[in-house]
A = this chain, B = another copy of it.
Amino acid sequence: MGSFDLQKESLDNYSLTGRVFNRIREDILSGKYKQNEELKETAIGKELGVSRTPVREALRQLEFEGLVNIIPNKGAYVTGITEKDIKDIYVVRSLLEGLCARWAAENISNEQLEELDEIVHLSEFYAKKESFEHVVDLDNKFHEVIYTASKSRILEDTLTDLHHYVERVRKVTLAVRERAERSNTEHKDILEAIRSRDGKLAEKLANKHIMNTIKNLSNQKLADIIK
């Protein structure tokens, strides 16, 4: 317990609950906690050097993120994601990212366009260097900027949720150089459609972009991610 004292970790998230939330979330997504594993408040609290209160609050929030399943008076369990769940998420995301790109084309600011430019260029660079953590990070950023640019809180929130949910998957899909580069080309196309304010095209391209991601993923790899 002494080795990982949360109080001394990065101070970017100020409240303990927030830090505990991020930590548990990471541990689920990274696979440290397996599917259906029970998350006990005292154990986690002890490990992180905090009391049960922030752990409880974090678990309640994770339930709403869908990563944890709480059974009253029994416990909190890591929610399983099935292969079908992942495929469904990609179909839903495909529709919504399309809508989002369309709205972004209508509402994006010049600063945001520049931001996207930078992301795309950086991503190209890192993909060539096969520095895939950076690529994943930039992929996240690309989509997040578009979410914001859509100027729709509702759509942004919904998409952010779904996006988080498949973080595990994206780490794997983008860790192949060809896919990383292909993905970046698609990003570029979407960006250009948005820049030229062509909402319909942006929507179509975003639709395809998301579906390509999942198509690219073999069933074998999918199964590996799940279990």
Chain A contact residues, CB within 8 Å of chain B: 1-7, 10, 14-15, 17-18, 56-57, 60-61, 63-66, 69-73, 79, 84-85, 88-89, 91-92, 95-96, 99, 152-155, 157-158, 161-162, 165
Chain B positions within 8 Å of A63 at CB level: 6-7, 10, 61
**Which applies to chain A's interface (DSSP): helix, strand, loop or mixed?**
helix
Residue in A2, A69, A84 whose Cβ sees the most chain B Cβ within 10 Å? A2
| 19 pairs, CB–CB < 8 Å, chain A vs chain B | A2-B64, A2-B65, A3-B158, A4-B66, A6-B63, A6-B66, A7-B63, A7-B69, A7-B71, A10-B71, A15-B73, A18-B72, A60-B60, A61-B63, A61-B64, A66-B157, A88-B153, A92-B99, A95-B96
CB of B14 within 8 A of CB of A64, answer no
Chain B positions within 8 Å of A154 at CB level: 1, 85, 88-89, 92, 162, 165
